[in-house]
Structure 1
Amino acid sequence: MVPVTEPVEAGSVVFMDLGINLGYWGTTGTDDLAAMKALTQAADVAGYRVAWLAEAYGSDVPSLAAYLSAFTENLEWGSAVFQIPARTPAMAAMTAATLDKITDGRFRLGLGVSGPQVSEGWHGVRFDSPLGRTREYVDIIRLAFDRKNVEYHGKHFELPLPDGPGKALRLLLLPERAQVPIYLASIGPKNMELTGEIADGWLGIFVSPEHLPEQLEQLRVGRERAGHADGSLDGFDVAAQVGLSMAGDLDTGANRLRANAALYVGGMGSRKKNFYNALARRMGFEEAAQEVQDLFLDRKHRDAAMAVPRDFIDRTALIGPREHVAERLHAYAEAGVTTLSVSPTGDSLEERVAAIHTLADIMDAEGLR
């Protein structure tokens, strides 16, 4: 399916691919390897298009992608994300090429700059000039995929080093495809523009159909800069990552997602620099974002979770009964999302597996895929 992200006319049929976001290994009681395998296989059987894996400072994406992909037949695999500070661009190209080979041409390379605390505290890499560093990083990866000797003279990367015995080398193991699709995880307006300019897709978090038009305009600025007429998003994948919490009512559905929302809005970063908190403010939740952050940084994590407005969760996730989820699926499709990747929650692994199948059934019943 070719992604279609242009404005939707009334009565038009809009389609979305489904994805599953498996996150990290070992962060909650049910996210052991057997559970990840069960979720993966359920998504494969239910006709999901892609499975995404994450990394921070625990499990890494490549190991899990190589292992889990062996248990599926049709799923594509993506990194959401490879951390740019964790690998040289050449290493990222090598790993992506290897995974594309392993998965028979079904790997998507998602990249992100991480944050100051992880970049500097865990990887020992200064969190400076994230936009310029990302641009050069992608340039070098594309050079490697292009089967060219990698010679690059940038502000942040110099290959080969000018004062030693190094030489410009060519990637030995070619990916299955000429170019592995590159996605960027971006939040701020300038980073969104860069994503539209240099990437094949966008990995969005806390995506709301109501706020998405503003973000798509930022992507279009970059697309036009790259030479796409009128900033066209044809062929560009708008991949929204959302929570999925099927329940009999909205409050029950939202409560399962409150702690995760509070972690990001309140605790992912410092009081001065938290990209997710800034996003919530731009979406119109200024007071709540401040309260959640204050409570979380004061180590009142439960209070922070309860301070997350239900409306914020409802706008940025799929929660509640089947009818409400169906309504929100249409909103995402009509707003311009081309791949909707869900993180299924539930009180047991069985409930999470069931949610995967239920969502696929709703998509089919609503004619959305």
Structure 2
Amino acid sequence: MKLGLQLGYWGAQPPTGVAELVAAAEESGFDAIFTAEAWGSDAFTPLAWWGRETSRVRLGTSIVQLSGRSPTSIAMHALTLDHLSGGRVVLGMGVSGPQVVEGWYGAPFAKPLARTREVVDIIRQVLRREAPVTNDGPHHPLPYTGEGATGLGKPLKPIVHPLRPDIPIWLGAEGPKNVAQTAEIADGWIPIFYTPGSAAMYQPWLDEGFARPGARRTRADFEIAATCHLQVTASETERQAVTQQLKSTIALYMGGMGAKDANFHKQVFERMGHRELSDEVQRLYLAGEKDKAATLVPDDLVHDMHIVGDAGYVRERVAEWEATGVTTLLLSCRSADEIRRVADLLARP
């Protein structure tokens, strides 16, 4: 199992010290660095900026929001950065949610699976550069012939010859149908809540996708990039303090992300068997009682989703995550020293 550094997206201001984190990840044997986007910073620019100082680590997006750019625009970003980095791009994409898609991008959220399939197909056409790019689907027709069209649209191939015709495409997916489609059409999967405790739930969905005619990958060469907070603690007191902090983040996703009846993250917790808990956490969270909501999150759930403890415990838990099929563990590290400590710990026999 490989390690990835998750840089995430920016808060109110650009983060400081990122160059040191990236350098430490490169030097310490991390396989990749990843960036994200919400409705502030974008995912591609930080990779181009900080990635220029690297020569080995893969440069991944987790995730690019499909509604933020046309499929051909996403392909242009990916092929450009792939050339600049010498073939190190991993293109992670996802549909986001209706609040962001319709509220920020001004686009309809309907038919997310069909839209995803069209986007992936168009991007692959661009990267193969075998013929002018066309698409007959309803979501991204190429050439466009709908309302307001001039009739002059012409199928085109990219001017630039892509460095790689098969840049890896990983998809963020949560529900059964989306996970199955990801296993069918993508090179990898970026789950948001994949844990040793929930891994069995996902296996039939993945198997369904791998079994479909024309599936791109098999379980043997399909990548799963799971995210967790990993922290080596020096005492039980420190471990409990970190656990309490993580409860607030879990409560945010369980109760405060998305609309009340369209929180896809909450639905994942429900599938994991936490319906009553997530209902109450959401009720409190939306009522403004965020701290009280966080106190309801049980320690066992925190320690299924994250890895916090002494060195021996951390190594045991990492092995458990790897045994579930995780190929890359995405970690959010706070300092270069922490990156080096984690890499050194997990590199030991």
TM-score of the pair, normalised by structure 1: 0.88
* Aligned partner letter, 1:235: D
Q: Quote the residue 1:6 is aligned against.
A: none
- Is 2:339 the counterpart of 1:356? yes
Match of 1:337 among 326, 332, 344: 326
Q: Does 1:18 align with 2:27?
A: no
State the partner residue of 1:325. 314
| 1:222 matched to 2:219 | no
Corresponding position of 2:227: 241
Does the CA contact (< 8 Å) of 2:124 and 2:165 recur in 1?
no
CA–CA distance in structure 2, aligned partners of residues 252 and 323 of structure 1: 19
**Aligned: 1:314 with 2:300:** no
| Number of the residue aligned with 2:197 | 210
CA distance in 2, matches of 1:356, 1:292: 33
RMSD of aligned Cα (Å):
1.7
Deviations 1:231-285, CA, capped at 9 Å, x for gaps:
8311110111112233233422312322222221111111111111111121122
Local SS of the residue matching 1:97: helix
In 1, the alpha carbon distance for the partners of 2:302 and 2:336 equals 21
- Counterpart in the other structure of 2:167: 180
Find out whether 1:130 has 2:130 as its counterpart: no
TM-score normalised by L of structure 2: 0.93
Tell me which residue corresponds to 2:72: 90
- SS across alignment from 1:94: helix
Partner of residue 61, structure 1: 43
Unpaired runs of 5+ residues, structure 1, are 1-15
In the TM superposition, residue 320 of structure 1 has moved relative to its aligned partner by 1.9
Partner of 2:24: 42
Q: 2:135 aligns with which of 149, 152, 155?
A: 152
Q: Distance in 2 between matches of 1:175 and 1:254?
A: 45
- Asked if the contact 2:185/2:215 (under 8 Å) is kept, the reply is no
Q: Deviation per CA, 1:47-79: give whole Å up to 9, x if none.
A: 000111000101001111100101223111111
Contact map agreement 1:253 1:320 (CA 8 A) in 2: no
Name the aligned partner's letter for residue 315 of structure 2: A
* Structure 2: runs of 5+ lacking an equivalent: none
Q: Tell me how many residue pairs correspond in the alignment.
A: 341
- 1:113 is aligned to 95
Equivalent residue in structure 1 for 2:279, among 279, 285, 290: 290
Q: In the TM superposition, what is the alpha-carbon distance from 1:32 to its structure 2 partner?
A: 4.0
- Residue type at the aligned position of 1:237: E
